[in-house]
Amino acid sequence: MISLKTTVLIAGLFAALQPALAQQKVKQPVDYADPLLGTSESRWMLNPGATMPFGMVQLAPDNQEAVWKSGYEYSLNNIGGFSHIHSWTMGGLSVMPTVGVLNIKRGSADNPTTGWETGYRSRIYKETEKASPGYYGVKLMNGDIMTELTSTTRAGFFKFTYAKDQDAHILFNLDVPFENTAEILDAKFTKVSDTEIEGYSKQKWGWQEYTVHFVARFDKPMAGFGGWIGNKISKNVTTLTGKGKMGAYADFASHNGEVIQLQTAISLVSIEQARLNLTTEMNPFKWSFAGVRNNARTVWNGLLSKIKVEGSTEENKKKFYSNLYRSYVARTTWSDVNGKWIDPNEKERQSDPNTPIIGSDALWNTFWNLNQLWTLVNPDIASKWTRSLLEIYKAGGWLAKGPAGIEYSGIMEASHEIALITATYQKGIRDFDVNLAFEAMMHQQTTPGVVTPEGGYAGNRFYKSYLELGYVPNEEGQVSNSLEYAYDDWCVGQFAKSLGKTKEADMFMKRADAYAKIWDPSVKYVRMKNRDGSWVKDWNPLCCTSFSGPGYLEGNAWQYSFFKPHDVQGIINLMGIDEFNNRLNEGFEKSSKFSFNADGDMYDLVPVNHGNQPNMQAAWLFNYSGKPWLTQKWTREIMTKYYGSTPYHGWLGDEDEGQMGAWYVMAAMGLFETDGGASTKPFYEIGSPLFTKTTILLDNKYYKGKNFTIETKNNSVINQYIQSATFNGKALTKPWVYHQDIVNGGSLVLVMGPKPNMNWGSKPGDAPPSMSAATK
């Protein structure tokens, strides 16, 4: 029998533990975000590494060769190095701790056994691998080295914990294999002191040429320093200069339990700027790895906490915050702490440090994902993006559609950065040079594109013919470009209208109807058209995906026939409402068994391909065609089937630097903007939210409301259909709401049920605004 005294003691101990136990159970948004999610079959820019939002330094493990979708593959149980740059078409400066005899060969991903003939690549203890926003850690089998990474925006921090007494080497390899492996044109390492190394690597791939300047410092003196060029090793040197496959190493005598720490920073401007980035961002933390890691966690948690979700499952919360994390992790800041950066003409520029210059893959169709998220939840980020794009325009004379390393890449088609700038303005985010923005848009949409001196491309391809004919002829390029150019024209027209520029607004609104010029009424599809006006005969609705040349850019006629973001009503008028609904719904039914993804980039084979940009609006179109319950049904099914919660199933298609992630976040909140938010009065269509309650903490610098909440009653996997709705206590009968009403604060309440309410939001007058519809 337990005594009363013992019972009281146990009760007291349990009561004392309650605050700690309660604290352990309360998970923050950052705890749900999993950087390992989706890292199998992922790309160079999406890895489990340690980085900050839009970080210049993205420290991440690399375990693949120079192949498509290279970088980190979760299923490979080895690592060949931890490199600093994981930006589109860019890489650089890999670091790897090794022990024993010096080995400068990386080795094969398929044969990672340690040895002179196989290389320094190490297997890992998979169970030790941990990743969270701003942190990555794993124990290497070679030497049992616990390797941990964290970072600030422009500087990295490595912590190596050794388990044995043996010779240790920390390698700096400039040859980094990835999707677009660069040629090293010129490079240099210099031993500055017993604890510091500096250098640079001038790199080139295709049109992309850039110089990675770096500084690295240890918290303990090096026992030796050397380097290699090709297979030739140079020991005990102070300086090493060369090109091609080369690197350097630092020697240490490690002991059991010893910790060696390394801090690094990079810059595209100069070594001095790299050192400034290092001292500015790392010195406040001294040598506290925990301090830098906790800072990264705090920053990420603050960003992710701008949306709070309640109810639903733990899996859905993990998917939500992991996708939200991905929306900020893959694009890159390329300006230094003091605002210096290198422009598209390789000239050093000075900008306001509060206007970071941001590089990325294309902004192709980000109006269906990232633009919506940033302008609603993070208007400060939309402002920074807009100001960054205008700085690039001032320096290079063109807006950049994909400013990789701040070069004019020419990647993808049209100039959809215009949609981001326009939506930013229309939502009241106007702390940028508005007149300059309009000037830049006018130049972009009235001037044919050009090949840049470095071999990139600025502006719109095939644009001369588009300006002449109103469409892109089959002899020159993708007919689908006509639709993308027309959407940007509409955005400029809406921007001009808001600025009171009636003449320009009228001109661009007339050009915004290019869809009609390539619509073939005999087949009811947009169709490839020759310069003489004749239709291409060898054709069918699921044919002719193109990556360059005639056809449909990464899509087919079925998909692009639904591509008129600013005028869904215009599509319905041409197609007929029954054909529109039946064709679209049948496409979803056929695509569901493929989880809405064209595996292997076989874009012709799947009607609804959520795994690529041209089709990401498809599920929301039923809001315009009198069947909003099908929007509710299919958005739910995409969130369930297409998106997963494991390293092997995160996103089935090409995540493209946060686009798939941002779409999920918007859909899970039950909001979307088919027209990208660029209309003079932006609005959101309503879907089927996943959570019982979603709270958006509005930024009071831009929006006067404190919070906006989306509540659902009786929500479940089965109860996915809206039965009724209220907005700020008043009945809402239409499946859309104005942006201004949301950011004024308040709540949207949706009553859910297991069967569609076909009377809610289905009347002809309930449809959201379109260019061809009457003003709402």
Residues 249-274: tens digit of each pLDDT: 999 999 999 999 999 999 999 999 99
At residue 115, the pLDDT reads 53
Going by C-alpha positions, the residue among 351, 293, 362 that lies closest to residue 130 is: 293
At residue 776, the pLDDT reads 44
Beta bridge partners of 552: 545
Asked if 292 and 399 sit in the same domain, the reply is: no
How far apart CA 771 and CA 565 sit, in angstroms, is 10
User: In sequence order, which residues have a C-beta less than 8 Å from that of residue 725 and are 6 or more positions away?
Assistant: 686, 731, 732, 733, 748, 749, 750, 751, 760
Cα 401 to Cα 361, 390, 411, 564, 643, distances in angstroms: 8, 12, 7, 20, 27
Q: Is residue 651 part of a domain?
A: no
Domain at 402, CATH number: 1.20.1050.60
Q: Is residue 583 part of a domain?
A: no
Asked if 143 and 243 sit in the same domain, the reply is: yes
- DSSP-H helix ranges across 270-378: 271-282, 289-304, 314-326, 370-377
How far apart CA 173 and CA 201 sit, in angstroms, is 10
Asked if 363 and 291 sit in the same domain, the reply is: no
Q: How many domains does the chain have?
A: 2
Asked if 74 and 221 sit in the same domain, the reply is: yes
Q: Which residue is listed with tokens 């920390």?
A: 170
**Does residue 18 surpass a pLDDT of 70?**
no
pLDDT tens digits, 141-150? 999 999 999 9
pLDDT band (50, 70, 90) for residue 117: low
Asked if 74 and 217 sit in the same domain, the reply is: yes
Q: How buried is residue 314: exposed, middle or buried, by Cβ count under 10 Å (0-12/13-18/19+)?
A: exposed
Asked if 284 and 388 sit in the same domain, the reply is: no
For residue 159, give both structure tokens.
Answer: 């912590």
pLDDT band (50, 70, 90) for residue 109: confident
Residue that finishes a domain, picked among 422, 437, 457? 457
Using an 8 Å Cβ cutoff, are 399 and 417 in contact?
yes
How far apart CA 275 and CA 365 sit, in angstroms, is 37
pLDDT tens digits, 413-452? 999 999 999 999 999 999 999 999 999 999 999 999 999 9
Asked if 132 and 276 sit in the same domain, the reply is: yes
Question: Whole-angstrom distance between the N-terminal and C-terminal Cα of the chain?
Answer: 77
Over the range 547-583, which residues count as b (16 or more CB within 10 Å of their CB) and which as e? Answer: eeebbbbbbbbbbbbbbbbbbbbbbbebbeeeebbeb
* Percent of the chain scoring above 70 in pLDDT: 96
Q: Is residue 123 part of a domain?
A: yes
What are the CB-based long-range contacts (under 8 Å, 24+) for 270-275? 270/213, 271/198, 271/199, 271/200, 271/213, 271/214, 271/215, 273/213, 273/336, 273/338, 273/340, 274/198, 274/213, 274/214, 274/215, 275/198, 275/215
At 205 the three-state DSSP class reads: strand
For residue 51, give both structure tokens.
Answer: 């980085």
Of the CA atoms within 13 Å of residue 147, those in its CB half-sphere come to 28
Q: Is residue 313 part of a domain?
A: no
For residue 620, give both structure tokens.
Answer: 């929301």
pLDDT tens digits, 179-202? 999 999 999 999 999 999 999 999
At residue 13, the pLDDT reads 39
How far apart CA 34 and CA 31 sit, in angstroms, is 8
Q: Is residue 40 part of a domain?
A: yes
Residue that finishes a domain, picked among 236, 270, 302? 302
Q: Is residue 420 part of a domain?
A: yes
pLDDT tens digits, 658-698? 999 999 999 999 999 999 999 999 999 999 999 999 999 99
Query: Mean pLDDT for the chain?
Result: 94
Domain of 168, in residue numbers: 29-302
How far apart CA 120 and CA 106 sit, in angstroms, is 5
Q: Is residue 130 part of a domain?
A: yes
Q: Is residue 435 part of a domain?
A: yes
pLDDT tens digits, 350-370? 999 999 999 999 999 999 999
Asked if 280 and 429 sit in the same domain, the reply is: no
Asked if 360 and 241 sit in the same domain, the reply is: no
At residue 68, the pLDDT reads 85
How far apart CA 155 and CA 203 sit, in angstroms, is 20
Residue that finishes a domain, picked among 411, 435, 457? 457
Using an 8 Å Cβ cutoff, are 759 and 703 in contact?
no
**Does residue 4 surpass a pLDDT of 70?**
no
Asked if 189 and 64 sit in the same domain, the reply is: yes
Asked if 52 and 178 sit in the same domain, the reply is: yes
589-608: average pLDDT? 89
Lowest mean pLDDT segment, chosen from 14-28, 427-441, 625-639, 681-695:
14-28
Domain at 47, CATH number: 2.70.98.10
Asked if 366 and 289 sit in the same domain, the reply is: no
At 376 the three-state DSSP class reads: helix
